[in-house]
Structure 1
């Protein structure tokens, strides 16, 4: 048994000290910190006092003062400059960067505002969206005046409909709660997906590398193949758990530090408010179970090849299974209560991501995730028993071998 722990420790420490692991962890942690602080970073480059000047040609002689008042309320960092210069001169100044853009105001045949905005590019930005919002409000006011509507009547016409949702399920989450949970579930699903692929590939590649270098022949003489397999799986699993802990800690601290800034736009749909301990625990549990399921399969497949070049082709079906589970989970972000998502959450190769999605997005009875965990545990045990038999014979097979027909050959070698 001591040989097993020696190999487990070696598998863990060697990967933990590897430059690739350190660099990857630092880059991922830095990426999480940057995304959580993106607003502050943008502001630091732009500067708080930075203003964009927009030249205005007001052919109506009436709209500029009203537009200026509207813009002051919407965005104080956009400065409107009324000018009598010609359009050609102003276009030259826009190209030179003196002005961010040129806005030409006029009245249409219906006496409602029309505007032409000229800028270096046609890509949308804050300036164009703010100008459109301000002019839209001005147009509504003028139209209301033409129709002899009071401001109260105009406000009534523009008021959003009072629409609320109620569920017959007493434990169902509200729309706000779903939005709050969706963000963290979305991020953790990505992490589970990429981690399972990365670490499972790592195991398959390491087994193939040992076989190609004939190190396997030396190891077999001192440690049984089954002990080797599980030492690699558990050791690299600890590596993944270490990385997950570091990234979750960085993500948690970054999100909590910038909770107030993570609002509007993307964050209205993918909120980060419901970062509960239960979700983190479930993420770790399903990450580990998913890892052990796919890692066992990867070790099995890796033992069948003798060249590193053949690893990717051999584990391609496993990669497809992970991708399918991930795509089902992405679909489930919009419809977590659908029957399709519920059924697929009990299919072992999809359970780690799909069941975690349901746990994070819905108030499901505890028996359902427990049943999913049991399904995964049973599948892991069955695959481990079957995989150990194939691994024991597969590591003794050399030569070009990238066909699933070699599974039968590996089992026959195990019996000898």
Structure 2
């Protein structure tokens, strides 16, 4: 048992000392900090400059109403610049374009003939191809004016118009309707809680995938490198292959968890900054609504997913003698994890679909997809623990098989052995 801890400690210390690990962790921490503070930085560069819109004097009876509406807004961002009428459309546009070239206005609004509803056709022209913000503000202002003009003709009072335009309050709550099912979310989730849970699930699925891929490939690479440099021949004489494999798996797990805890602390420190706290409050995002049960399942599925794929990567790494051949050898395991990841990511928009329900019970996909169902739907408790039981059984079988392959594979050199050659070698070594 002491040799197992020796391998584990060596794996952890060796990885912590590598420059690539330190630099990568630092870069990811910086990226997280920039990403979480990006809205604050962007807001600092935004200005409240008013956009000047040119209009021809007397071109429409609505101009006074439009000017009154735009000027009455607290933060309209628009200001009408009245240009004297030149007598013809061509001359008017020429003058307006000169005003744009001089920087006096950003664009101009032209009023045309009335449509079937008696409202004039309007065109906004500017040099900017993506000037959607100004167009949207003009549309909102003109729509309000249209209501103001049409309502009296229909005999509606201002109070009646306000009642018609008042938004409808519709709250969404997720509930459980399974009788006696003992569903995970029996208490139900409000709309805000659903939004927070969706974000949490999305982040955790990505974290699991990155953790599985990064740690798994590091395990396989380290084992193959030891074989290719013939260091493995020395190691097997002092430490049994089984202790080597599990020592590397657990050691890399500690490295991965340490990195995740560091990055999580960086994220929490940035979220706790005053400007970010106020931003989350304005968006009605309450991170405390992530329940203990969801966090428990996140940790559980992460651990089980890691050990399942780590054993598979270790087994594959043990049968490869050259690092050049490793990428092709681990491709099936990589594809297996990618399938579960992409099903979960694309299934966020339809977490109760048949595909999600069925694949959540497939052990190689359960860490991604069953966690998705726990976070976004309301599966029965027996469904969740059935998936966990199947996943635990698969981890046991995979670990047992990986150990047999590892003990055989580390002693085999040359080209990657086939399954028949592996079985033949296992019989020869009495494994």
TM-score (normalised: structure 2): 0.83
Q: Number of aligned residue pairs: give it.
A: 410
Residue 388 of structure 1: which of 390, 394, 403 is its match?
403
Q: Where does residue 102 of structure 1 map in the other structure?
A: 107
Q: Where does residue 346 of structure 1 map in the other structure?
A: 361
Matched, 1:188 2:195: no
Matched, 1:261 2:279: yes
Q: Secondary structure at the match of 1:415?
A: coil
Judge conservation of contact 2:307–2:395 (CA < 8 Å) in 1.
yes
Q: Secondary structure at the match of 2:136?
A: helix
Matched, 1:40 2:40: yes
414 and 55 in structure 1: CA distance in 2 versus 1, 3 angstrom threshold = farther
Q: Secondary structure at the match of 1:341?
A: helix
5 and 285 in structure 1: CA distance in 2 versus 1, 3 angstrom threshold = same
Q: Where does residue 220 of structure 1 map in the other structure?
A: 236
Matches within 5 A, 1:20-99: 20-47=20-47, 50-58=48-56, 60-71=59-70, 76=75, 78-84=77-83, 87-88=93-94, 90-91=96-97, 94=100, 98=103
User: What is the rounded CA distance, in whole Å, between the counterparts of 1:27 and 1:381 in structure 2?
Assistant: 36
129 and 240 in structure 1: CA distance in 2 versus 1, 3 angstrom threshold = farther
- CA displacement 1:364-388 (0-9 Å, x = unmatched): 4555444433332222121111111
Q: Where does residue 148 of structure 2 map in the other structure?
A: 141
Residue 310 of structure 1: which of 325, 330, 336 is its match?
325
190 and 135 in structure 1: CA distance in 2 versus 1, 3 angstrom threshold = farther
User: What is the rounded CA distance, in whole Å, between the counterparts of 1:114 and 1:158 in structure 2?
Assistant: 24
- CA displacement 1:320-350 (0-9 Å, x = unmatched): 2212212222243233334442332221111
- Alpha-carbon offset, residue 241 of structure 1: 0.8
Q: Secondary structure at the match of 2:114?
A: coil
Judge conservation of contact 1:313–1:402 (CA < 8 Å) in 2.
no
User: What is the rounded CA distance, in whole Å, between the counterparts of 1:230 and 1:93 in structure 2?
Assistant: 75
Consecutive unaligned residues of structure 1, counting only runs of 5 or more, are: none
User: What is the rounded CA distance, in whole Å, between the counterparts of 2:19 and 2:293 in structure 1?
Assistant: 33
Larger Rg belongs to = 2
412 and 37 in structure 1: CA distance in 2 versus 1, 3 angstrom threshold = same
Q: Where does residue 180 of structure 2 map in the other structure?
A: none
What RMSD over aligned residues (CA atoms) do the two structures have, in Å?
3.2
Consecutive unaligned residues of structure 2, counting only runs of 5 or more, are: 85-91, 178-185
95 and 342 in structure 1: CA distance in 2 versus 1, 3 angstrom threshold = farther
TM-score (normalised: structure 1): 0.85
